[in-house]
Amino acid sequence: MSTLWSKGTQATDLVEDFTVGNDRILDLRLAKYDVTGSKAHIRMLESIGLLTKDELDVLTEALDTILGEINAGDFILEDDVEDIHSQVELLLTRRLGDIGKKIHSGRSRNDQVLVDIKLFLKDETVKLRNEVLALFYTLQNLSEKHKDILLPGYTHGQVAMPSSFGLWFGAYAEALADDMYMLKGAYCVTDQNPLGSAAGYGSSFPLDRQMTTDLLNFGSLDYNVVAAQLSRGKAERAVASAMGAIALTLNKFAADCCMYMSPNYGFIRFPDELTTGSSIMPHKKNPDVWEIMRGNCNRIMAAENEISMLCSNMPHGYHREFQLLKDILFPMLELMHKCLMMADYMLQHIMVNDNILDNPIYEYLFTVEEVNRRTLAGMPFRDAYKSVGIEVNEGRFRYDGKGLNHTSIGSLGNLCNEKIREKMEKAAAF
């Protein structure tokens, strides 16, 4: 295999296969970012006199051609080429001769890879933001649509107090707003330019790092060149942590849906084509989408820990283990996109049961309402609590109240969906 770093000695096939692993396949996702980073780098090189204007023009045109090939799906990583960085440089050299060899002046593959990954992760967090927003608005719409339909609330798996579909849908919408703050933080961590840090100790070339920061639309620099290399793994972990927060929200919602779809609850249902059947029991309608989502969200939540363990025990500077970060994070990003898309798709077709409380098993759902009613009428709270408890134990409890009077902020009579929307829009401003 052709390598840029080769000094005349070739690795054995066994060593090469072990050290490269899946990197060549995963690297293809970074190809367009590699070209984008290179275009900014050569503009900066021309500004400090390491390229002529004519060389810049020729190189830029050739890089634009390669970018077009990438976007058209015509870019391939040749069998004897190590990675996409080498492939891009090889294509330039083939097409332009020695001019193509000048593109790497003033940088290392270490900061080149870091730029690619950070540009990629910035785009991925923006995609996740948009997918989370779509799901958020779906949940809010459902919350408003079904805000007057009561739903039993449970604690410890036991019937507890009245809730509503408005509260249930709205709760997960607000949980996503919290997750969005995590995603915004991850974006800020990745939105820092490492280009010019080279192998981690800078360069004797008079590089204009602010220029490449502006050209690549980074919000800031990784100023300290050693710190730039320390960000390897930290950016990936930040994104994984944000995905873990989103995945935890989806995991809980999926678990709710699996439970609520059960005939033992019968709170919600979906069209037959969105459920699966049993090979032996003709009555079954299984919540396979939600079960798979629940399992995949557990896998996504595990990614942060795996990244943390991979990046531990290494002194500062680059180490080859960092290559393995892509094996962990890239598949989890794909799963996260799929889970968000499927959750929104399923919710577009959800149907709710508006007669749940007709079932006599919920006769004690309103004990707290009755305690509060008696307290508001003048009875001390502890006496009201005791008297209702005695009636429950003796089988005499009946709730005679008319409707529910929950008006405090965030309760089922005052959902505050507009305030939650404002919170989300503030969190999503990146």
- Rounded alpha-carbon distances, angstroms, from residue 204 to 39, 101, 290: 21, 19, 56
Contact 268, 257 (CB under 8 A): yes
Is residue 84 pLDDT above 50, yes or no?
Answer: yes
Give 193's strand partners.
Answer: 221
Range with the poorest average pLDDT among 106-110, 123-127, 193-197? 106-110
Residue closest to 403 by CA, chosen among 395, 412, 394: 412
Range with the poorest average pLDDT among 226-230, 267-271, 294-298, 310-314? 310-314
Q: Give the confidence band of 17 by pLDDT, cuts at 50, 70, 90.
A: low
Q: How many residues are recorded in the chain?
A: 430
Q: How far apart are CA 420 and CA 415, in angstroms?
A: 9
Three-class DSSP category at 243: helix
Q: What are phi and psi of 269, to 5 degrees?
A: -155, 165
Q: Give the confidence band of 125 by pLDDT, cuts at 50, 70, 90.
A: very high
> What does the pLDDT read at residue 363?
85
Quick: pLDDT tens for 254-276: 999 999 999 889 999 999 888 77
Average pLDDT over residues 230-248: 95
Average pLDDT over residues 285-301: 93
Range with the poorest average pLDDT among 49-58, 197-206, 214-223? 197-206
Provide, for the chain, the percentages of residues in helix, strand and coil under a 3-state DSSP scheme, each rounded to the nearest 5: 65, 5, 30
95 vs 370, higher pLDDT = 95
Q: Give the confidence band of 111 by pLDDT, cuts at 50, 70, 90.
A: very high
Q: How far apart are CA 420 and CA 418, in angstroms?
A: 5
Average pLDDT over residues 121-134: 98
> What does the pLDDT read at residue 82?
80
Average pLDDT over residues 151-180: 94
Burial class (CB in 10 A: 0-12, 13-18, 19+), 124: buried
> What does the pLDDT read at residue 397?
87
80 Cβ contact list (under 8 Å, min separation 6)? 1, 2
317 vs 192, higher pLDDT = 192
CATH topology identical between 13-105 and 110-196+223-358: no
pTM score? 0.89
> What does the pLDDT read at residue 62?
97
215 Cβ contact list (under 8 Å, min separation 6)? 39, 40, 43, 44
If you search the block for the tokens 């290392």, which residue do you land on? 108
Is residue 60 pLDDT above 60, yes or no?
Answer: yes
> What does the pLDDT read at residue 27?
83
b/e map of 387-411 (b: 16 or more CB within 10 Å)? Answer: ebeeeeeeeebeeeeeeeebeeeee
Secondary structure letter of residue 12 according to DSSP:
P
Is residue 5 pLDDT above 50, yes or no?
Answer: no
Q: How far apart are CA 351 and CA 395, in angstroms?
A: 34
Average pLDDT over residues 190-215: 95
Residue closest to 219 by CA, chosen among 227, 210, 206, 231: 210
Three-class DSSP category at 165: helix
> What does the pLDDT read at residue 415?
95
- Angle value at C-alpha 32, between 56 and 190, nearest 5 degrees: 105
How is the chain split into domains, by residue range? 13-105, 110-196+223-358
Three-class DSSP category at 209: helix
Contact 194, 224 (CB under 8 A): no
Contact 144, 198 (CB under 8 A): no
The mean pLDDT value of the chain amounts to 90
Range with the poorest average pLDDT among 8-12, 219-223, 226-230, 310-314? 8-12
Average pLDDT over residues 6-22: 58
Range with the poorest average pLDDT among 106-110, 222-226, 316-320? 316-320
372 Cβ contact list (under 8 Å, min separation 6)? 384
Distance in Å from the first CA to the final CA of the chain:
42
Take residue 89 and report the two structure tokens written for it: 């440089």
- Please state which CATH number belongs to domain 110-196+223-358: 1.20.200.10
- Angle value at C-alpha 228, between 225 and 232, nearest 5 degrees: 150
Give helix 109-145 / helix 234-261 axis angle, nearest 10°.
Answer: 30
Range with the poorest average pLDDT among 247-251, 371-375, 381-385? 371-375
Residue closest to 201 by CA, chosen among 222, 224, 225: 225
Superfamily of chain region 13-105? Fumarase/aspartase (N-terminal domain) (1.10.275.10)
Three-class DSSP category at 15: helix
Across 173-216, the runs of DSSP E, i.e. the strands, are 192-193
> What does the pLDDT read at residue 337?
98
Q: Count of H helices and E strands in the chain?
A: 15, 6
279 vs 305, higher pLDDT = 305
